[in-house]
Copies of this chain bind each other. A is one copy, B any other.
């Protein structure tokens, strides 16, 4: 994972994620391999390998002999993602909090500051990335790599909507405030409070994303 990105399939995978996240590729779109490969400047082989990993994450769906399509997230699917996140993130936080040193907590605080800085600059893309680093710093600290991986899959499934969520100034402000509360609980090593704050934090975003989904496909 941390190996330097050299292969074309990795570059293509990153490009695909970005295109899905920015809406360049919209839910329901067929992915025409020939044209996309040309756009990325590679052949179809590495593109297809990247698509296979996106398929297993549920970001695209595959129909043999018909091709890959950007997944359409239904409301039911969205709610399921958040329900599973609730379950798994609580587990991660409870496992992580007791193991964190003061230095670790400071590092997490630094990441929270980066999220806020991006919010102030109204850099939505950077905020999305920083926000993810902040939350996963906590999750990864649990030392349960499989759990981390499952959570990454679930987060990626709703990446497109999270970026939209950060578009609104009100949401950006709320996120910063909630992160600050979470840091307080974290410094107090109060795992249960942190879980509760995390749940509220997530509930706010699910409400917003659900509203977005509703207007898009009524």
Contacts of A63 in B (CB 8 A): 3
With an 8 A cutoff between CB atoms, is A110 at the interface? Answer: no
Contacts of A157 in B (CB 8 A): 146
Closest Cβ of chain B to A90, distance in Å, is 9
With an 8 A cutoff between CB atoms, is A26 at the interface? Answer: no
Contacts of A32 in B (CB 8 A): none
Question: Are B80 and A149 within 8 A (Cβ)?
Answer: no
With an 8 A cutoff between CB atoms, is A27 at the interface? Answer: no
Question: Are A84 and B3 within 8 A (Cβ)?
Answer: no
| A28-47 vs B, Cβ < 8 Å mask (1 yes, 0 no) | 00000000000000000100
**A residues within 8 Å of B by Cβ?**
3, 6-7, 10, 45, 48-49, 52-53, 55-58, 63-65, 77, 80-81, 83-84, 87-88, 91, 144-147, 149-150, 154, 157
Task: List 13 additional A-B contacts (Cβ < 8 Å) besides A83-B91, A84-B91, A150-B150.
Answer: A3-B63, A7-B64, A48-B49, A49-B52, A52-B52, A52-B53, A53-B53, A56-B56, A56-B57, A58-B146, A80-B146, A84-B147, A87-B87
